[in-house]
């Protein structure tokens, strides 16, 4: 691999993915040609049963690659889908081409700086200029529903608190929380460090002990042990921010191509927010679980969790509108805050390359 393509991939690997799973591998075919293979792993997380989260991540990767390529005066000239290869369900065949007079993207400096802020943010509202820049970043196929007033934040906090209860009580999320959080760490190359989950140090230690076994989780939950994590990680952050938003697509997001385009829009939005001095936290559990509800996909064996989630999905739909909620690309909260101290890093490039 030549130095230019290596430099591009070194930056592209900083794309975001759910739980920092980095579901991709790179296969270099030539100086300006490669395949981005989708690598979801053998055991699909409950948050990726229909590959929606995975497609968002692959779209974000492609967008980050396109941003990184501008440093060398290159554009993504062609993409096509590759069929299954070994353990990879599909891939994106990418061809880069030189573009005369192309300047580096203004988003390049924030690619590796962009991160997730799960702690409290400033209550200062976004300016009209900031909102205009964010709306422009997602493109013409997407609309943004802003939820900024106190009534909206209170309603969002209430709903997310209930979604958090479903997430913490349903048995299917135990393995995800156990395996994707690096307990006792401030940084991690392939997981989320516990210092970044938004819990105070004491709660982190309690959660680390609890996640040693599902029996401990059940015991603590019977004692109401899910209450404090919900308050610290769902309720208070939902109130302590400039506001929430829902980005929705004007077309259904029913196929991988449309979902990857949504992932590209997500990354442009996130990088633009970072360039504006704003912090961002995705709030994707509700949109993902509601996709399962709409398509009758079994995602939990807990009858209470399934019923409660169906009720919450109806409430989100009534509040935000049936079409925006059904065609939600991503949802989150924004605001200014102190720089993130604990954060996820990425696996080294050599670990992501395949022959």
Per-residue pLDDT tens over the stretch 277-321: 999 999 999 999 999 999 999 999 999 999 999 999 999 999 999
From the list 160, 127, 156, the residue with the least C-alpha distance to 276 is 127
What is the length of the chain? Answer: 355
Distance CA 200, CA 232 (A): 8
CB 330 within 8 A of CB 282: yes
Distance CA 26, CA 91 (A): 9
Domains 3-113 and 128-344 belong to one CATH topology? yes
Given a cut of 90, whether residue 155 has pLDDT beyond it is yes
CB 36 within 8 A of CB 58: yes
| Strand, helix or coil for residue 133 | helix
From the list 235, 318, 326, the residue with the least C-alpha distance to 283 is 235
* Residue 355 binned pLDDT confidence (cut-offs 50, 70, 90): confident
Q: At what angle do helices 256-275 and 128-138 cross, to 10 degrees?
A: 150
Per-residue pLDDT tens over the stretch 161-185: 999 999 999 999 999 999 999 999 9
Give percent of the chain above pLDDT 70: 100
Distance CA 96, CA 35 (A): 11
Count the neighbouring beta carbons within 10 Å of the beta carbon of residue 303. 8
Count the neighbouring beta carbons within 10 Å of the beta carbon of residue 169. 17
Which region holds residue 277: left if phi is over 0, alpha if psi is between -120 and 50, else beta?
left
Per-residue pLDDT tens over the stretch 77-95: 999 999 999 899 999 999 9
CB 90 within 8 A of CB 256: yes
**Does the predicted TM-score (pTM) go above 0.85?**
yes
Q: Give the CATH fold of the 128-344 domain.
A: NADH Oxidase (3.40.109)
Domain ranges of the chain: 3-113, 128-344
Mean pLDDT within 318-339:
97
Distance CA 283, CA 76 (A): 30
Given a cut of 90, whether residue 340 has pLDDT beyond it is yes
Per-position DSSP letters for 237-279, written without gaps between them: HHHSSSEEEEEEESS---SHHHHHHHHHHHHHHHHHHHHTT-E
Tell me: domain 3-113, CATH 3.20.20.80, correct?
A: no
Mean pLDDT within 252-266:
97
State the residue for tokens 């982190």. Answer: 204
């Amino acid at each position: 691999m030549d130095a230019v393509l290596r430099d591009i991939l070194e930056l592209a690997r900083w794309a975001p993915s759910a739980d920092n799973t980095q579901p991709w591998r790179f296969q270099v075919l030539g100086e300006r040609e490669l395949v981005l293979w989708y690598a979801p792993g053998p055991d699909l997380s409950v948050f990726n049963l229909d590959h929606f989260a995975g497609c968002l991540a692959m779209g974000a990767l492609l967008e980050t690659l396109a941003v990184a390529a501008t440093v060398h005066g290159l554009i993504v000239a062609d993409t096509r889908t590759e069929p299954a290869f070994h353990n990879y369900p599909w891939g994106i065949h990418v061809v880069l081409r030189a573009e005369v007079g192309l300047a580096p993207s203004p988003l390049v400096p924030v690619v590796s700086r962009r991160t997730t802020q799960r702690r409290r943010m400033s209550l200062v509202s976004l300016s009209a200029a900031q909102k205009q820049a964010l709306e422009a970043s997602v493109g013409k196929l997407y609309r943004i529903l802003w939820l900024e007033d106190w009534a909206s934040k209170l309603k969002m906090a209430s709903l997310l608190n209930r979604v958090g209860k479903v997430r913490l009580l349903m048995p299917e999320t135990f393995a995800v929380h156990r395996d994707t959080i690096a307990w006792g760490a401030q940084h991690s190359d392939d997981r989320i460090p516990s210092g970044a989950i938004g819990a105070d140090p004491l709660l982190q230690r309690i959660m680390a002990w609890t996640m040693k076994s599902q029996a401990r989780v059940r015991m603590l939950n019977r004692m109401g042990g899910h209450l404090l994590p919900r308050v610290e990680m769902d309720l208070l952050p939902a109130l302590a921010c400039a506001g929430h938003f829902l980005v929705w697509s004007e077309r259904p997001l029913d196929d991988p191509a449309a979902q990857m385009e949504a992932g590209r829009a997500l990354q442009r939005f996130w990088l633009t927010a970072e360039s504006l001095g704003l912090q961002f936290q995705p709030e994707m559990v509700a949109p993902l679980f509601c996709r399962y509800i709409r398509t009758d996909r079994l995602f939990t064996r807990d009858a209470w969790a399934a019923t409660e989630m169906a009720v919450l999905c109806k409430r989100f739909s009534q509040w935000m509108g049936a079409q925006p909620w059904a065609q939600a690309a991503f949802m989150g909260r924004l605001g200014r805050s102190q720089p993130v101290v604990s954060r996820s890093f990425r696996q080294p490039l050599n670990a992501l390359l395949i022959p």
